Chains A and B, each alone.
Chain A
Amino acid sequence: MIQSLLIANRGEIAVRIIRTCREMGIRTVLAHSQPDTDSLPVRMADEHVCIGPAPARESYLNIRNLVTAGVLSGCDALHPGVGFLAENAGFARDVGEAGLIFVGPDPEVIELLGDKIRAKHSAKDMGIPVIAGSTGSVENARDALAAAESIGYPVIVKAAAGGGGKGMRIVRTSAELGDVLVIASQEAEKAFSDGTVYLEKYLENPRHVEIQIVADRKGGIVHLGERDCTVQQNHQKLIEESPSPVVTPELRARMGDDAVRLLRRLGYTGAGTVEFLVMDGKHYFMEVNARVQVEHPVSEMVTGVDIIRQQLLAASDEALEIRQDEVRLGAYAVECRINARSAGRVTRFDVPGGYGVRMDTFLYAGYHVPPWYDHLVAKLIVTGRTRAEGLRRMQRALSELVIEGIATNIESQQKIVAHPVFQSGKYGTGFLGEVMKEGSL
């Protein structure tokens, strides 16, 4: 069993990991940057090591200092948390070579999953549904027309080298395709010095639904149901819930089975998430997040399984504490991410409580929120017997939450939760964008 763990992260996920370690009797050493010296996880950890100045690339991304800190402080394992180096195969390799256990999948698995095209091919090879698309780049209008015909309209033209929406165009009829192809290719050429484009089926307003997996090295692998993360702003998740209002028991079984099969085949270890888009009762593989995710508490509250604990057991070559037939998905849980909209000193902090309420945060009154890192400062999670009960409880809990001294998105979250479309459960990833346009948030 892991005796001593270096935590190479900060904020609420560091607090989250320390809490489980304390329950398991694992000594914690927190690696932190200079401005984080006053942070809550530094106070909570058994020991702490400063690993660099404020900029993340010199501290939380400084592989040499992190590995050295782990070795010299007598740790036998390292937890990367979320973000920063959590999905960096080179880091996982260096940690292993220094003689420490990396709490996560093997470097080769991280590497494969980091390549979105290879990951998609792996899924497709196993018969897992993926979003239909041209097999390679489309060179001319004739190829494109043929590809679009077989995929079915609407299609989306994407730049192979793409990102940030550049070179991306939605095409609804064959008449538009020729012109759009030229424009998209030119845009891609300008943005990425590569005019290569390909086609994919365009899913209009889909749901973002992901399956939580935990796996050990003894062949144990279970899924803990789904999380619906459809409420997003610029691809940033804001509210996550489980179960999803659109996932039927049959769809859940299919998605769960696909996710388990894929990660078992890849020899995956630890906590991971398989992301799907869901549309008209069908699911399409998107990608795998090879780490624990920010929204993991939602699944913990639904299933009663401590995911960080299972991660640490798996990394220690121990067996998971739960089998698939023991997983119960009885309750409903929902999480609101509380984001800072400004840095500064927190002058007042009232934490909601009461039945069915969980708050994961690293804030305290008097804490100075530094401007250098992620804006997530708290996660408010509530449970209920039904979605309606859970959402009423979330409204109640949000009304108790007071953070003064910094600007936050609490009010905006209150409006989203109260919004009739959100309450109805019938919406897609475009929902928040539409609501924003109305100007009511």
Chain B
Amino acid sequence: MELKELYALMERFEKSGLSEIMFKKDGEEVCLKKAAPAPVFAPPPPAAAYPPAHQGHDAHASDAPVKHGADTEFIRAPLVGTFYRAPAPDAPPFVEKGDTVKRGKPLCILEAMKLMNEYQAEFDMEVVAVLADNGNMVEFGAPLFEVRRV
């Protein structure tokens, strides 16, 4: 690997929302890790602002049972992508069921066209359920989390 390629990779990695990246090419291997939690690189679209899918026809992406309590709401996928619960394969998930999450804290990553889009909590919330499976495709509007405002 050329030194300038490595620099380019470091620069992209620095700006990305990832905390770790493994890059293999021509038998060479580079592993980059960030010490601190990854900074947010792109303002996420307002996930909660999207209208829910057809009443009675919730998106088919998740086979998870979607029970909708009176005081809870869904965080839905604002784009089609691969759903990741954690910033890196061996990192712990951003949030677990039962967690209380402050506004602005990351919830998940949606990968689309090789871009990692990190999505943050729009408001303070309690995670009632995680509805999408890690590493799977989610379609537009698919419920990702059931949450309760706190």
Q: Which residues of A approach B to under 8 Å, CB–CB?
A: 34-35, 37-38, 48-53, 59, 64-69, 72-73, 98
Contact = CB atoms under 8 A, between A and B. Distances in A.
Contact of B53 (A48, A50, A66): A50
Contacts of A68: 79-81, 112-113
Contacts of A38: 54, 57
B140 A48 contact: no
A68 B50 CA distance: 19
Interface in B109-150: 112-113, 137, 139-142
Interface residues of B, number: 19
B141 A72 contact: no
Given A37-B53, A49-B139, A53-B140, A72 B113 contact: no
Contacts of B139: 49-51, 69
Question: Which of B54, B80, B137 is packed against the most chain A CB atoms within 10 Å?
Answer: B80
A73 B60 CA distance: 14
A51 B140 contact: yes
A48 B82 CA distance: 16
Contacts of B141: 34, 50, 53
Contact of A67 (B50, B54, B113, B142): B113
B42 to A, nearest CB: 13
B140 A59 contact: yes
A44 to B, nearest CB: 15
Contacts of B80: 49-51, 64-66, 68-69, 72
Given A49-B139, A52-B140, A72-B82, A64 B57 contact: no
A416 B57 CA distance: 41
B57 A53 contact: no
Interface in B70-123: 79-82, 112-113
Contact of A34 (B54, B82, B113): B54
Contacts of B38: none
A52 to B, nearest CB: 5
A113 B138 CA distance: 36
B61 interface: yes
A48 B80 CA distance: 12
Given A34-B141, A49-B80, A72-B137, 15 more contacts: A34-B59, A37-B59, A38-B57, A50-B61, A50-B141, A51-B80, A51-B140, A53-B140, A53-B141, A64-B80, A65-B80, A65-B140, A67-B113, A68-B113, A72-B80
A34 B140 contact: yes
B51 interface: yes
Contacts of A65: 79-80, 112, 140
Contact of A53 (B50, B60, B61, B112): B50
Nearest to B114: A98
A64 B50 contact: no
Pairs of residues from A and B, 6 with the lowest C-beta to C-beta distance, nearest first: A72-B137, A50-B139, A65-B80, A68-B112, A49-B139, A68-B80
Interface of B: 50-51, 53-54, 57, 59-61, 79-82, 112-113, 137, 139-142
Contacts of B112: 64-65, 68
Contacts, number: 62
A431 B140 CA distance: 46
16 contacts: A37-B57, A37-B60, A38-B54, A38-B57, A50-B139, A51-B80, A52-B140, A53-B141, A64-B79, A64-B113, A65-B79, A65-B80, A66-B80, A68-B81, A69-B137, A72-B80
B49 to A, nearest CB: 11
Contacts of A72: 80-82, 137
Question: Which of A48, A52, A65, A68 is packed against the most chain B CB atoms within 10 Å?
Answer: A68
Contacts of B54: 34-35, 37-38
Contacts of A69: 80, 137, 139
Nearest to A58: B140
Contacts of A48: 60
A48 B141 CA distance: 13
A434 B143 CA distance: 54
Nearest to A48: B60
A35 B54 CA distance: 7
Question: Which of A34, A67, A69, A73 is packed against the most chain B CB atoms within 10 Å?
Answer: A34
Contact of A50 (B51, B82, B142): B142
Contacts of A98: 113
Contacts of A34: 51, 53-54, 59, 140-141
Nearest to A35: B54
A188 B59 CA distance: 48
Contacts of A66: 80
A49 B141 CA distance: 10
Contacts of B81: 68, 72
Contacts of B137: 49, 69, 72-73
Contacts of A52: 140
A48 B142 CA distance: 13
Contacts of B113: 64, 67-68, 98
B148 to A, nearest CB: 25
A68 B82 CA distance: 9
Nearest to B115: A64
